A and B are shown apart, each in its own frame.
Chain A
Amino acid sequence: MSGIEVRNISKNFGNVQALKGVSVHFEENRIYGLLGRNGAGKSTLLNIITGRIFAAEGEVLIDGEAALENDRILGKIYMMSEKNYYPESMKVRDAFKWSKEFYPDFDLNYAKTLSEKFELNTAKKIKSLSTGYSSIFKMITALSTNARYILLDEPILGLDANHRDLFYKTLIEKYSGNPCTIIISTHLIEEAAGVIDHVVIIKNGEIITDESRDELISKGYTASGTASCVDSFTAGRNVLGTDSLGGLKTAYIMGELDKNNVPEGIEISKMDLQRLFIELTNA
């Protein structure tokens, strides 16, 4: 089976169970959003996939082969971490050259072009980069490797709005020209929602949602109105959460909606991915 197949992975850190029997399949040539609150287990899952840490139970298969300590498979994945694992005294351009050594498909010209686009000074040492430019450096490296599986853990950390916008555009361009599997773990869901086509939500070390973005969004809707109207409308429905302001109430609901049976006084609107995420992970 192609893609990344995570089978029944569990991981503990002392008494804390970070992942509880997680199973998920990341298919080829799709952009995934791996979403979860702080400490939900997103980075732990990505670190296990890339073999940086070991799972207590379970296994990871990539293109049907066990990924753990498998050099051929590890050469197909590149993970951009929140933390920097490059030597701090190394210059950016040297880091690109070394990346080419480990990832023969690394495109030095593309890395140079992106560096110019993002105004990254490649003569600088990595330790002298700001948080934003450190993210830019890691993101450029990740996109230039031409790896089949690119894992981005908080890729837009410290980036200003202009650079974030440029990042999403670059990501889409890259994906359109050279499709690969990209997994983005981020907190900025509203922004990332435009680029991801599949959503995996992790909560307290368990996968609670694993479906396409459009399907997921189509299942959720918002019902607003007076408190009494909303209460009678939501009776028997799967209500994720509610907000009240004065006599008005808003309910966040999961499930099919028969638009012909919406009572008067109830206003129905679509739920965006961020709201859906908040309600799903709060529930």
Chain B
Amino acid sequence: MNRISSYKYQINDLKRPVAIYYFVIACLYALTFFGAVMTTHIDTGSDVYVTSSSGISGWEIGTAIFLFVCGLNSFREPFRMLIQNGSSRKNIFAGRFLAFLSVGAGMALIDTLIMTVGQLLTSGSKRWYFKGFYEIAFSRRAESISGVQMHLESFFLIFCMYMAALAVGYFITIGYYRMNKAAKIAVSISVPGFLFYGLPILDQYVTKGAIFRAIGKVFAFFFGMDDKIPYYPMAFGLLTAAVFLGLCWLMLRKAVVKD
């Protein structure tokens, strides 16, 4: 019972931001549409000449960023509320995991449906295009497989990406919650400092570019760029989600209520 209640509370906590997100997305689509109508054709009396094409592509990256932010905001308040209401940490985590699973799958489905409908509406149009992340990253494969397979693979790809984004966001917020003030300051300064200053300097002056080349290769491998197949990034996304959620559980099981 308590696990279901924990899930209900935590999914409810995500409902409103998700609704606002899609409202904003709908407004952006409408703006894009009207903006494009106003600027992309010249009416010469009887004919319409298309001067450029307009459309939407790769918006799933926006959804992933949104879900990362959702993950960042998913701990402190629900944790206190659920502990107040007699939930154990394992139920808090189980409820959160199920909520992430539901939101990740739900938004992947919505985004896939938007892409499918968008593509149906714009098919054959020279003025409009509608491309999902999958078609951008794996364009040759998208052309070579059936539409059903493409949409299925696209769904699983973005679902894995969304789960990873949620898990990383959640991990960061629990990590910060567990740290004391000194550790928070140290991490806030040292991690960005190392990534944005230390690593580039080290790479440029010591390893002569070898570090970033290696990172690039690892990313190319895991994101499937080498073989142009989406299964590596799917596995990478799931693995990232599993590792970070595992770390989240390790931190959550000893988390205490802080004033």
Given contacts A99-B85, A101-B5, 19 further A-B contacts (CB under 8 A): A47-B257, A50-B86, A53-B256, A54-B256, A69-B89, A69-B90, A71-B3, A71-B87, A74-B2, A77-B86, A78-B86, A85-B83, A85-B84, A85-B257, A86-B81, A86-B84, A98-B81, A102-B2, A147-B86
CA distance A83 to B85 in the complex (A): 14
Residue of A nearest to B257 (CB): A52
Most chain A beta-carbon neighbours within 10 Å: one of B9, B88, B256: B88
- Is B259's CB within 8 Å of the partner chain A? yes
Is A179 located at the chain interface by the 8 A CB criterion? Answer: no
Contact A85 B81 (CB under 8 A): yes
Chain B window 78-98, contacts with chain A (Cβ cutoff 8 Å), 1 for yes, 0 for no? 001101111111110000000
Nearest Cβ distance between residue A95 and chain B, in whole angstroms? 9
Q: Would you call A175 an interface residue if the criterion is a C-beta within 8 Å of the partner chain's C-beta atoms?
A: no
A103 lies within 8 A of chain B by Cβ:
yes
Is A75 within 8 A of B2, CB to CB?
yes
CA of A83 to CA of B89 in the docked complex: distance in angstroms?
20
The 4 closest A-B pairs by CB, nearest first: A102-B85, A85-B84, A85-B80, A74-B86
Nearest chain B CB to A172's CB is how many angstroms away? 25
Q: Quick check: B2 and A81 within 8 Å, CB to CB?
A: no
B77 at the interface (CB under 8 A from A): yes
Residues in B whose Cβ lies below 8 Å from that of A85: 80-81, 83-84, 257
Asked if residues A98 and B1 are in contact (CB atoms below 8 Å), the reply is no
Q: Which residues between 116 and 174 of chain A lie within 8 Å of chain B, taking CB atoms?
A: 147
| 18 pairs of residues in contact across A and B, judged by CB atoms under 8 Å | A53-B256, A53-B257, A54-B256, A69-B88, A69-B89, A70-B88, A71-B2, A71-B87, A71-B88, A74-B86, A75-B1, A75-B2, A87-B77, A98-B9, A98-B85, A102-B2, A102-B5, A103-B86
Q: Are the CB atoms of B1 and A87 closer together than 8 Å?
A: no
How big is chain B's contact interface, by range? 20 to 34
**0/1 per residue, A92-123, Cβ < 8 Å to B?**
00000011011110000000000000000000
Q: Across the interface, which residues of A come within 8 angstroms of B3, CB to CB?
A: 71
* B87 contacts A74, C-beta separation under 8 Å: yes
Instruction: Please measure, in the bound complex, the distance between the C-alpha atom of A77 and the C-alpha atom of B85, giving whole angstroms.
Output: 9
Bound together, the chains give a CA A70 to CA B2 distance in angstroms of 11
Taking CB atoms, residues of chain A closer than 8 Å to B85 are 98-99, 101-103
Instruction: State whether the Cβ of A51 lies closer than 8 Å to any Cβ in chain B.
Output: yes
Known: A70-B88, A74-B88, A87-B77. A52 touches B2 (CB 8 A): no
Return the chain A residue nearest B2 by Cβ.
A71
User: How far does the Cβ of B253 sit from chain A's closest Cβ, in whole Å?
Assistant: 8
List chain B residues, Cβ under 8 A from A52.
83, 256-257
- The distance in angstroms between the C-alpha atoms of A147 and B2, with both chains bound, is 15
For A83, give the chain B residue with the smallest CB separation.
B259
Residues of B contacting A70 in the complex (Cβ-Cβ under 8 angstroms): 88
Q: Is B8 an interface residue (CB 8 A)?
A: yes
Cα of A83 to Cα of B80 in the assembled complex, Å: 11
Residue of A nearest to B256 (CB): A53
- Evaluate whether A51 and B88 lie within 8 angstroms (CB atoms) in the complex, with A85-B80, A85-B83, A101-B9 already known: yes
Question: Which A residues touch B81, using CB under 8 A?
Answer: 85-87, 98
Chain B's nearest CB lies how many Å from the CB of A72?
9
Interchain nearest-CB distance for B256 vs A (Å): 4
B181 at the interface (CB under 8 A from A): no
Q: Which of A54, A101, A147 has the most CB of B within 10 A?
A: A101
Q: Which residues of B contact A74 (CB under 8 A)?
A: 2, 86-88
Residues in B neighbouring A87, C-beta threshold 8 A: 77, 81
- Cα A247 to Cα B80 with chains together (Å): 56
B15 to chain A, nearest CB (A): 13
Contact partners of B83 in chain A: CB under 8 A = 50-52, 85
Q: How far is the CB of B113 from chain A (nearest CB, A)?
A: 31
**Best-buried of B83, B84, B89 by chain A (most CB within 10 Å):** B84
Chain B residues whose CB sits within 8 angstroms of the CB of A99 once the complex forms: 85
What residues on B are CB-neighbors of A83 within 8 Å?
259
How far is it, in angstroms, between the C-alpha of A77 and the C-alpha of B84 when the chains are bound? 10
- Minimal beta-carbon separation of B87 from chain A (angstroms): 7
Give the docked Cα–Cα distance between A57 and B24 (Å): 52
- Name, among B3, B9, B86, B91, the residue most crowded by chain A CB atoms within 10 Å (CB to CB): B86
Cβ of B171 to closest chain A Cβ, rounded Å: 21
Shortest distance in angstroms between B118's beta carbon and chain A's nearest beta carbon? 35
Distance in Å from the Cβ of B38 to the closest Cβ of chain A? 39
Most chain A beta-carbon neighbours within 10 Å: one of B2, B8, B90: B2
Residues 1-29 of chain B, each 1 if its beta carbon lies under 8 Å from chain A, else 0: 11101001100000000000000000000
A51: chain B residues at CB < 8 Å are 83, 88
Closest Cβ of chain B to A107, distance in Å, is 16
Contacts A53-B256, A71-B2, A87-B77 given; indicate if A102 touches B88 (C-beta within 8 A).
no
Q: Are B254 and A104 in contact (CB under 8 A)?
A: no
Q: How far is the CA of A101 from the CA of B2 in the complex (A)?
A: 8
